[in-house]
């Protein structure tokens, strides 16, 4: 390419202050990354609780989708109907997990502006 024709001439930055825009974009990306890390820490501490069978089974789940507590009213334990107890436990845990997912989604959407397909999420 001949000197002075077409191409880019400048001292390292494009004309029009494009470097400032890039710096601003990098600061915004870093801020969002920090906010995302903070939100992830917060969601790891979240819990959700649910009951089933009119409160005879209670489940508490943590942010990493682990069961933290499971309470079963002894009056509901019937050796002849274990299947009902299993259903009550599953219902309580599944509902608590759903609630937890909704809390996490709500918190993360505050950071991502509602776009949960954000890279790294």
Q: 6-34: per-residue pLDDT in tens?
A: 555 555 555 555 679 999 999 988 998 99
Evaluate whether 59 touches 89 at the Cβ level (below 8 Å).
Answer: yes
Domains of the chain: 19-112 (3.30.1310.10)
Predicted TM-score of the model (pTM): 0.69
Q: What is the percentage of the chain residues whose pLDDT exceeds 70?
A: 79
Cα-based distances in Å from 76 to 51, 52, 86: 13, 11, 11
* 110-121 pLDDT, tens digit each: 888 876 565 554
| % of the chain exceeding 90 in pLDDT | 65
Cα–Cα separations (whole angstroms), residue 23 to 29, 35, 53: 10, 18, 57
Chain segment 38-54, per-residue pLDDT in tens: 999 999 999 999 999 99
> Is 73's pLDDT higher than 70?
yes
State the pLDDT confidence band at 106, using cuts at 50, 70 and 90. Answer: very high
């Amino acid at each position: 390419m001949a000197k002075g024709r077409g191409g880019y001439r400048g001292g390292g930055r494009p004309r029009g202050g494009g470097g400032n825009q890039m710096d601003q974009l990098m600061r915004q990306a870093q801020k969002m990354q920090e906010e995302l890390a903070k939100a992830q820490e917060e969601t790891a501490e979240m819990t959700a609780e649910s009951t089933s069978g009119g409160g005879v089974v209670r489940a508490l789940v943590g942010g990493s989708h682990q069961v933290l507590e499971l309470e079963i009213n002894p009056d509901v334990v019937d050796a002849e109907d274990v299947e009902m107890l299993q259903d009550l436990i599953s219902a309580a845990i599944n509902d608590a997990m759903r609630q937890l997912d909704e809390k996490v989604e709500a918190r993360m959407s505050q950071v991502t502006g509602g776009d949960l397909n954000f890279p790294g999420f």
